């Protein structure tokens, strides 16, 4: 019994010792990047690089200028925390002092440490410190920052992917952010509900554009994707409105249009929250009709009501949902933009709307500095039975 008690006491002491060691390493910066010791290794490498560059400058000043010390300084700004940079900058300053003493005045092709060199190294040090402070505030290592943004962009793309439709139906969506950026304030979430018989699609335009609205669009697309299909269609927009109000954003409003389409019959409902109307092409007459429900912007006030507009898609009919970036412009009315959009869309009536979404954006809003999204739902003229 005494031996067992002694073993337990020894194990407890070992655990405490390991915990203290990990705490010391974490506070010293070794555990900065998920405990892998990468900052400690980077700091040691850069500290060794500084005297190596100084020695190379003294031996061969023609090939190795004193200004090469900016290389470890810039690398330190990308790799290290601000506290660790101070030691690196102190080493670089000491190296400059040694180089100025050893090189002396400009003789025999040797490059001295001039005031311009000192200012260049100091400016790079300030630049690296600003980068390090930004990374420290965000909490994202530079090597994973780009990966994280790429992952966020891919999540938006996956969430905006439309589900496969049964035989007799065609759908496609095109999304183009403002200024050629990777993030957009427009997004789509979609799902097939009621055992796959009903298609629900929500097209949302968040206030702002591009990168400014990208973070809010990502958050809202995840929330809307969770709400879609989990609530009855008429409860979706009220729930989305309440979600925006709880965020309490400075620019917390958004427009949205919710399509509920029965894939068996072609009947649909449109619920709108301050969004532009949808456009339906009637195959029989070849005319476009505006279809829209009534409701206020999302995130403006609580208790908002959203009334649905009903319709039906027959064989050969097309339903088009879009954001204001395709039809709004400072020098024209929205109705003119809608006329231009339907005029371009009429070119595809005789053939097929497959691939039309991207080409329509190119035709009517190629150089517009706003986010643009276009969704097409088409019913084939020879629509067949539903395939689950």
Domain-located, residue 13: no
Of 85, 117, 139, which marks where a domain is finished? 139
Residue with tokens 């990468």: 38
CA gap 182, 185 in Å, rounded: 10
Which pair of tokens denotes residue 317? 């009919």
pLDDT at 258: 96
pLDDT (0 to 100) of residue 242: 92
Q: Report how far residue 168's alpha carbon sits from residue 387's, in angstroms, rounded to the nearest whole number.
A: 9
pLDDT computed for residue 68 by the predictor: 87
| Cα–Cα distance measured from residue 25 to residue 40, given in angstroms and rounded to the nearest whole number | 9
Q: Are residues 94 and 214 in the same domain?
A: no
Q: Which two tokens stand for residue 128?
A: 């690296």
* Confidence (pTM): 0.69
Look up the CATH number of the domain holding residue 304.
3.60.40.10
Out of 80, 105, 139, a domain closes at 139
242 and 319 co-located in one domain: yes
| Cα 183 to Cα 219: distance, rounded to the nearest angstrom | 12
- Say whether both 122 and 253 belong to one domain: no
In a shared domain, residues 166 and 102? no
189 contacts 287 by C-beta, under 8 angstroms: no
Do both 357 and 310 map to the same domain?
yes
Q: Do 108 and 251 share a structural domain? A: no
* pLDDT per position as a tens digit, 202-223: 999 988 776 667 778 888 888 8
Q: How far is CA 246 from CA 57, 252, 300, 356, in A?
A: 61, 9, 11, 38
The answer to whether residue 22 sits within a structural domain is no
Q: Which domain holds residue 89?
A: 32-139
Q: What is the tens place of the pLDDT at every residue in 159-185?
A: 778 889 999 899 988 888 877 676 778
The residue behind tokens 């249009």 is 257
Do both 107 and 165 map to the same domain?
Answer: no
Do 135 and 284 share a domain, yes or no? Answer: no
* CA-closest candidate to residue 178, choices 73, 287, 328, 39: 328
SS3 319: strand
Q: What SS3 class is residue 64?
A: coil
180 with 120, same domain: the answer is: no
DSSP state of 275: P
d(CA 326, CA 329): 9
Long-range Cβ contact pairs of 346-354 (< 8 A, separation 24 or more): 346/286, 349/281, 349/286, 349/318, 352/170, 353/170, 353/172, 353/318, 353/378, 354/170, 354/172
Same domain, 66 and 89: yes
The pLDDT score that the predictor gives to residue 384 is 46
Q: Same structural domain for residues 230 and 333?
A: yes
Structural domain total, the chain: 2
Q: What is the pLDDT of residue 14?
A: 62
Positions in the chain whose pLDDT score sits under 50: 1-2, 5, 24-37, 384-388
Calpha distance 55→51 (Å, rounded): 6
pLDDT at 278: 95
> What confidence score (pLDDT) does residue 334 get?
86
User: Domain boundary at 110, 139, 168, which?
Assistant: 139
How many CA atoms, within 13 angstroms, populate the side-chain half-sphere of residue 61? Answer: 17
């Amino acid at each position: 019994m005494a031996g067992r008690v002694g073993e337990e006491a020894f194990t407890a002491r070992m655990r405490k010792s390991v915990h203290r060691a990990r705490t010391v390493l974490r506070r010293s910066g070794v555990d900065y990047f998920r405990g892998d010791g990468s900052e400690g290794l980077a700091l040691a490498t850069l500290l060794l690089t500084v005297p190596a560059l100084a020695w190379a400058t003294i031996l061969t000043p023609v090939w190795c200028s004193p200004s090469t010390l900016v290389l470890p300084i810039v690398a330190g700004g990308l790799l290290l925390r601000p506290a660790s940079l101070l030691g690196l900058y102190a080493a670089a300053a000491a190296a400059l002092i040694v180089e100025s003493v050893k090189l002396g005045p400009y003789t025999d092709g040797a490059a001295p440490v001039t005031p311009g060199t000192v200012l260049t190294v100091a400016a790079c040090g300030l630049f690296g410190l600003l980068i390090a402070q930004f990374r420290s505030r965000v909490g994202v290592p530079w090597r994973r920052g780009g990966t994280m943004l790429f992952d966020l962009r891919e999540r938006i793309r996956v969430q905006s992917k439309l589900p496969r439709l049964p035989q007799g139906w065609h759908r496609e969506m095109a999304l183009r952010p403002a200024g050629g950026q990777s993030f957009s304030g427009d997004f789509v979430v979609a799902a097939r509900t009621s055992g796959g018989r009903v298609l629900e699609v929500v097209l949302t335009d968040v206030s702002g554009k591009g990168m400014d609205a990208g973070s809010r669009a990502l958050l809202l697309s995840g929330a809307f994707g969770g709400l879609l299909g989990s609530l009855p269609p008429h409860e979706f927009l009220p729930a989305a409105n309440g979600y925006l109000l709880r965020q309490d954003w400075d620019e917390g409003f958004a427009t949205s249009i919710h399509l509920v389409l029965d894939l068996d019959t072609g009947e649909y409902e449109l619920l709108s929250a301050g969004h532009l109307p949808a456009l339906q092409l009637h195959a029989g007459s070849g005319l476009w009709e505006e279809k829209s429900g009534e409701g206020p912007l999302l995130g403006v006030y609580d208790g908002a009501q959203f009334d649905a507009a009903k319709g039906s898609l027959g064989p050969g009919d097309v339903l088009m949902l879009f954001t204001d970036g395709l039809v709004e412009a400072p020098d024209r009315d929205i109705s003119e933009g809608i006329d231009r959009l339907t005029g371009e869309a009429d070119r595809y009536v005789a053939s097929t709307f497959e691939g039309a979404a991207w080409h329509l954006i190119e035709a009517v809003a190629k150089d517009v500095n706003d986010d643009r999204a276009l969704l097409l739902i088409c019913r084939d003229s020879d629509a067949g039975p539903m395939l689950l």
